Amino acid sequence: MMTYIVFILSTVFVVSFVSFSSKPSPIYGGFGLIVAGGIGCGIVLNFGGSFLGLMVFLIYLGGMLVVFGYTTAMATEPYPEAWTSNKAVLAMFITGVLAELLTACYILKEDEVEVVFKFNGAGDWVIYDTGDSGFFSEEAMGIAALYSYGTWLVVVTGWSLLIGVLVIMEVTRGN
């Protein structure tokens, strides 16, 4: 199972995305996001990115999703729409899960199924060998490079975050 762990995590990742894309009330959608965040962390961890995976938990789930949860709690409605309360939401959820299951079967049974072209091998989804990370982990080196050689990228990213806040405030100003 460990060889297929990334594949399994990716499949569940997509299913959790389907769970909030089928548009239930944001509270239930937030639950889907939490699951997706945790699974995303797992996928990143499997590629050796321990720091970034835990960053997902800390900043994304522990910071942004908490704020999202509080704002959703401020805007609750008396009868929130769950996945089973509305036929449209349930239908979309089932469609999404079915599509994902069919894709998963298409990927796993590489030699027997041909849709438009035969699938090319599970490739990066399957870890046969964790590889040699040398003396330094690639991911830590990447983060170090971001803050040394990648100063421009930090400037652009920081500016984009600032603009994100300003844009949201302009959009919700409403007068």
Which positions from 116 to 155 touch other proteins by CB under 8 A, shown as an x/- string?
--------x----------------------------x--
**Residue 124 CB, nearest approach to other proteins (Å):** 8
Based on its alpha-carbon atoms, the radius of gyration of the chain, rounded to whole angstroms, reads 20
Q: Does 167 bind other proteins (CB under 8 A)?
A: yes
The answer to whether the beta carbons of residues 33 and 57 sit under 8 Å apart is no
Q: Does 160 bind other proteins (CB under 8 A)?
A: yes
Tokens of 53: 């995976």
Query: Distance between CA 172 and CA 79 in Å, rounded?
Result: 25
Residue type present at position 86: N
Tokens of 5: 């762990």
Query: Distance between CA 9 and CA 33 in Å, rounded?
Result: 14
**Residue 162 CB, nearest approach to other proteins (Å):** 8
Q: Does 171 bind other proteins (CB under 8 A)?
A: yes
Which positions from 36 to 55 touch other proteins by CB under 8 A, shown as an x/- string?
--------------------
- Report the residue number, 130 or 160, with the smaller CB distance to other proteins: 160
Query: What 3-state class would DSSP assign to 5?
Result: helix
**Residue 49 CB, nearest approach to other proteins (Å):** 16
The answer to whether the beta carbons of residues 32 and 16 sit under 8 Å apart is yes
Query: Distance between CA 140 and CA 138 in Å, rounded?
Result: 6
**Residue 125 CB, nearest approach to other proteins (Å):** 12
The footprint of other proteins (CB under 8 A) covers: 124, 153, 156-157, 159-160, 163-164, 166-167, 170-171, 173-175
